[in-house]
Amino acid sequence: MLTDKHCKNATCAPEKKRARFTDAGGLYLEVSPAGSKRWFWKTYAGGKESRMALGAYPAMGLSDARKARDAAKLHKSEGRNPVEVRKVQKLRALRPEGDTFKAVAMEWYEKQVPQWSPSHADRSLRQLERDLFPWIGARPIADIHAMELLAALQKVEERGAIETADRVLMLARQIWDYWLPTTNVQQRNITEGLQSRLTPYRGKTFAAIVAPARFGDLLRAIAVYKGGVTVRTALQLAPLLYQRPGNLREMEWTELDLDAALWTIPSSKMKRTKLEKEQGEAHTVPLPTQAVALLRSLHPVTGHGRYVFPGQRSHERPISDNSVRSALYALGLGKEQTWHGFRASARTMMVDQLNLDPLAIEANLAHAVKDANGRSYNRTQYLAQRFSQIQQWADYLDKLRKGADVITLPQRAA
């Protein structure tokens, strides 16, 4: 049996590779000629001798080495591989249970950022810093109770940000999912069930006119809009092309082939994940003859610059999102029709009034959809069908603006 004095004085002759000093139960201290000392436990598996490293001396003293040996023997008697158990213990030691929520959240966040668009990353970090870190950021994540998280979420609701509370809960859920598999704590994800304690969020809806007669009123109002030619043309193209407001206002002349009647939006501009933006295909939008005519008439005014709809203060930037919105309010229709709502208006009336193929409409909207056989609808295919479809839509809008072929349905008495 070894003693502390034996361990302290143990040496290895220079001509030897190592020297072993045996204790008991397979425990021994191995000393190198350079003077380093390490504890090992001798084991046997399948008739072959092997050993398990326990630690270095003097960081691990004799008493601690014996405890480590006894623990390894216990694991082996329970049918567990003591070497694997030791590896797991070391890994867990790197992630102490005292980790704060902020530490875990930021580790999770850094792993997600490469896959996110800059705007989504900024918004997520802003929500963590504003809505969670001030209340539970410094708390050990293992000690946080569901009621603490709920209280933080309710503070978000109190300022009227119902959608934000829903998003913050989603962030918290993902952070707990990230943390739980690496912890010793037998704990459920505390976000489970909290959704039912929050004010229901029904999603954002954009005001959109879908009644043909009323939409005709809107088109006639747009036709006589007295604002600048840039905003007026954007306002006229919005219902014709029904693309996302950001894509329309950031339209560049280099994206347009007016002879081919095509608008090609780069993947980097589309509403996609960061990876999809980098590797995805461009979104091709067919242009009806009415849109081509509007763009040709605008070219002498803004065609010398980058953007089709440059801002007033700087031609190096496009018009703001508020430009068309303000124009709609100036026409007295801002509460009934939003810029983004033109997508819903087109989607609804193209199906209900013109009986056009919904899949082709969704493709033109740049929505990822699947056909009846489960295949993803390829936006670059059926271009001829989409040309025909969008021309039908543009011709239908002309009729609505002129007040033709519109039947006003009788209103049910109150």
Residues 223 and 299 in one domain: yes
Beta bridge partners of 140: 100
End residue of a domain, out of 40, 68, 93: 93
Find the domain containing 64 and state its range.
Answer: 4-93
- If you average pLDDT over residues 127-136, what whole number do you get? 95
Question: What's the mean pLDDT in 132-158?
Answer: 93
Residue 373: phi, psi to the nearest 5? -95, 5
Q: Is 156 found in the same domain as 67?
A: no
* pLDDT tens digits, 332-342: 998 999 988 99
Asked whether residue 413 is assigned to any structural domain, the reply reads no
CA 187/CA 176 separation, integer angstroms: 10
In a domain, 410, yes or no: no
Do 381 and 266 share a domain, yes or no? yes
Predicted local confidence at residue 305, as pLDDT: 92
Question: Do residues 254 and 335 share a domain?
Answer: yes
Q: What is the pLDDT of residues 341-360, one digit of tens each?
A: 999 999 999 999 999 888 88
Q: Residue 156 falls within a domain, yes or no? A: yes
The arithmetic mean of pLDDT across residues 366-395, rounded, is 69
Count up the domains in the chain and report the number: 3
- What CA–CA distance (Å, rounded) separates 30 from 40? 7
CA Rg value for the chain = 34
Indicate the DSSP class of residue 235. Answer: H
DSSP characters over 90-126? HHHHTS-TT-BHHHHHHHHHHHHGGGS-HHHHHHHHH
315 and 355 share a domain? Answer: yes
Last residue of a domain, one of 63, 93, 123: 93
Residue 12 predicted with pLDDT over 60: yes
Q: Is residue 216 part of a domain?
A: yes
- The answer to the question of residue 347 being in a domain is yes
In a domain, 348, yes or no: yes
pLDDT confidence tier of residue 275, bands split at 50, 70 and 90? low
Structure tokens at 37: 């000392």
Give yes or no: residues 178 and 248 share one domain.
no
Domain edge (last residue) among 25, 60, 93: 93
- Asked whether residue 126 falls in the same domain as residue 232, the answer is no
User: Three-state SS for 39?
Assistant: strand
Does 379 lie in the same domain as 305? yes
CATH number reported for the structural domain that contains residue 350 in this entry: 1.10.443.10
Query: What pLDDT, in 10s, does the model give residues 30-77?
Result: 999 989 999 998 887 767 878 888 889 999 999 999 998 988 888 887
3-state per-residue secondary structure call for 355-413: CCCHHHHHHHCCCCCECCCCCECCCCCCHHHHHHHHHHHHHHHHHHHHCCCCCCCCCCC
| pLDDT, tens digit (0-9, with 9 covering 90-100), for 276-323 | 666 678 888 999 999 999 999 999 999 999 999 998 877 789 998 888
Residues 230 and 281 occupy one common structural domain: yes
H/E element, 201: none
Q: Supply the pLDDT for residue 414.
A: 33
Shared domain for 107 and 74, answered yes or no, is no
Residue 414 domain flag:
no
The CATH number that applies at residue 135 is: 1.10.150.130
Looking at the structure, tell me whether residues 395 and 361 fall in a common domain: yes
Q: Is there a domain that residue 409 lies in?
A: no
Looking at the chain, the whole-number percentage of residues with pLDDT higher than 90 is 51
- Asked if the model's pLDDT at residue 373 lies above 50, the reply is no
User: In this predicted model, which residue has the larger pLDDT, 385 or 152?
Assistant: 152
Residues 256 and 277 placed together within one structural domain of the fold: yes
CA 272: distance to chain centroid? 9
pLDDT in tens, 159-172: 888 889 999 999 99
Higher pLDDT, 313 or 271: 313
230-242 pLDDT, tens per residue?
Answer: 999 999 999 999 9
User: Which CATH number belongs to the domain containing residue 40 in this structure?
Assistant: 3.30.160.390
